[in-house]
Amino acid sequence: LFAGPVEFLKGVVAMDGLPPADRAEICFAGRSNVGKSSLINALTGRKALARASNTPGRTQEINYFTLGERHYLVDLPGYGYAEAPVAVVEKWQRLLKAYLAGRQTLRRAFVLIDTRHGVKAVDEEILRLLDGAAVTFQVVMTKADKVREADRAKVLDQVRAALARHPAAFPEIVLTSSEKGDGIATLRAIIAGIG
């Protein structure tokens, strides 16, 4: 699906560090520990491309990856990590806002939601930010392997109800497990279709 190399390009800590805006860009946003880095590894088929970890707040920079010759994948720092120092949180919130609102080539934001938890108040903040910036976003449910199939419908209903209030939301929700591989091929196809 993606011709060309998959590589880590750079970690960015300020807007002036962003690479040239010359490709379609897809970002992954979500609460700390929701599984953003793991999903990027699963999508690219590379076990340790993005650093995944049990320690919340592991990803502290905007990490750019090339996916073939036409796309950048962007791993964003997680939000809603209660233990992080206030000054750090504020710095990242400013950068996140500036990035989401100001990146011309950002085609879609994937917002990751833990299948065990559904949409939380901190997620709503990001969804409102994306509405305001008119960035189309699509919800990707993570860690589906941790929820019994019979219990998934209820969470999905909660997520659908939340999305109905957001004009920038893309209606299709993708259920994934980076661990088991569910939904990964679907997500790859979606990304390949974003030009």
**Residue ranges binding ligand GTP (CB under 6 A):** 30, 32-38, 52-54, 56-59, 78, 142-143, 145-146, 177-179
Minimum CB distance to ligand GTP, residue 116 (Å) = 10
Site for Mg ion in 123-152 (CB under 5 A): none
One-letter amino acid for residue 51 of the chain: R
Give the closest residue to 62 by CA, choosing from 48, 73, 47, 49: 73
Q: Indicate whether 178 belongs to the interface with Mg ion (CB under 5 A).
A: no
Which member of 31, 33, 37, 65 binds Mg ion (CB under 5 A)? 37
Give the closest residue to 170 by CA, choosing from 193, 147, 149: 193
- What is the number of the residue whose Cβ is closest to ligand GTP? 78
Instruction: Give CA 174 to chain center in angstroms.
Output: 12
Nearer to Mg ion, 19 or 56 (CB): 56
Torsion angle of C-alpha atoms 99, 101, 105, 107, degrees rounded to 10: 110
Binding site for Mg ion (CB under 5 A): 36-37, 58-59
